[in-house]
Amino acid sequence: MKDKIEKLQKRLDELIAEINSVKSELNVIYSAFNPESPDFNPELVNKIKNIDSNKADEFFEIINGTLTKLKKNTEAIRTPNGIHTIANQCFLYNNKLSYVELSEGIKTIGESAFSGCEYLCTVKLPTTLEILGTCAFSNCKRLSSIDLPSSLSSIGISAFSGCVSLEAVCLPPNLESIGSSLFSDCFNLRAVFIPKSVKEMGYEIFKNCPEDLKIFVEAMPDKDRWRKDWDVRVATGRVLHKNIFYNSSREDFIARFLKKTDDASGTDDTSGTGEGTSGEILSTKG
């Protein structure tokens, strides 16, 4: 019996060492794919990305300019040219994808296209993108940032809901429509910028976000429109109204929340600006 116990203990120790080794390898892989990591390896990313248009048929199912399916499971992809649409649920619940680079010419990302891609940490969107569908990136739990192109005019319901690693988002300058529950359950979201181009906002955009989330609005909405289609207060959920700031500057928001600085302590400094719905934090001159 003693010998059996010793053998079992030895096997258990070996299994624990093997598990730790796998964990260590996974950490190296994720660090290599994450541009914010000091171990980011662009050469590895370029090597793994699917590589040239000659291999497109091997990796992608494309029908009349719509990418409908990923044929091979892989950590990183670069979509080929000639695509205008990412189909609904195209990458739904992909449990391996970490890095995505979408080619120029893509105008629409369909409903739930990347929903539930838990390991997705980096997405490069094309400058041609116009429509981001309902739940497009919902529950991408490792997605900590995303650069939305100025071509984007509409973002669907719950497009980023459940993205628990998102911290700051600058909505693009030509955006007209924001769907309900866009950032619901983004538990670590600290700051969002809303452009003056917005004409319509859904309900509970910030449901279950932190109470101290700061919402920066580029302009003061026309009071005639306030309760019709642009009620940021209705959209806030439980966010404190004193943390909504109007007449804000996009450039200052980007500098403060999105650009890395050596002095991290100054990232979220709002002192001396005045708070509340009439405050002008990040205000433009004049």
Identify the CATH number of the domain in which residue 120 sits: 3.80.10.10
> By mean pLDDT, which of 16-25, 29-38, 192-201, 269-278 is the weakest?
269-278
pLDDT in tens, 95-133: 999 999 999 999 999 999 999 999 999 999 999 999 999
Is the pLDDT assigned to residue 34 strictly greater than 80?
A: no
Asked whether residue 32 is assigned to any structural domain, the reply reads no
**CA of 139: how far to CAs of 162, 212, 223, in Å?**
4, 22, 35
Residue 229: domain span: 56-266
pTM > 0.85: yes or no = no
**Is residue 14 situated within a structural domain?**
no
> Which strands, in side-by-side order, build the sheet including 76-78?
76-78, 99-101, 122-124
The proportion of the chain whose per-residue pLDDT surpasses 70, expressed as a percent, equals 70
pLDDT at position 101 is 92
Other Cβ atoms less than 10 A from the Cβ of 81: the count is 10
6 within some domain: no
CA angle 161, 166, 170 (to 5 degrees): 95
pLDDT at 285: 29
Residue 180 covered by a domain: yes
**The 244-245 sheet, strands edge to edge:** 168-170, 191-194, 214-217, 244-245
Instruction: Indicate the number of domains in the chain.
Output: 1
The answer to whether residue 31 sits within a structural domain is no
Q: What is the pLDDT of residues 140-187, one digit of tens each?
A: 999 999 999 999 999 999 999 999 999 999 999 999 988 899 999 999
pLDDT (average), residues 250-279: 57
